[in-house]
């Protein structure tokens, strides 16, 4: 399996933390030296191991924001 190169450019916020110390975070990440994208996924405390996640473009994130703002939470 090929290595995936990533660089966390900016941490926007932590959404939750598990009992094992992993955190679900919203970050701005460059994957394989490509354009930065927003990303939501679980990370270990050293940011070396990660869980499955969702990567969003700026347009995707804006649309998600509109959807969330329209929800009655």
**Alpha helices (runs of H) in 1-73, residue ranges in sequence order:** 58-70
Average pLDDT over residues 1-25: 93
- What is the C-alpha separation between 3 and 59, in angstroms, rounded? 28
* 6-70 to CATH, choices 3.40.50.1370, 2.30.31.70, 2.40.50.140, 1.10.10.10: 2.30.31.70
Reported pTM: 0.89
- Express each pLDDT in 20-64 by its tens digit: 999 999 999 999 999 999 999 999 999 999 999 999 999 999 999
List, in sequence order, every beta strand (DSSP E) within 1-73.
6-17, 23-31, 37-43, 50-56
Residues 6+ apart with CB under 8 A from 51: 22, 41, 42, 43
Name the 3-class secondary structure at 66: helix
Domain ranges of the chain: 6-70
pLDDT of residue 54: 98
């Amino acid at each position: 399996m090929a290595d995936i190169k990533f660089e966390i450019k900016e941490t926007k916020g932590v959404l939750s933390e598990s009992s094992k110390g992993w955190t679900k975070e919203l970050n701005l990440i460059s994957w394989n030296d490509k354009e930065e994208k927003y990303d939501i996924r679980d990370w270990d405390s050293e940011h070396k191991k990660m869980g499955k996640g969702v990567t969003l473009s700026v347009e995707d994130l804006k649309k998600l924001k509109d959807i969330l703002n329209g929800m009655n939470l």
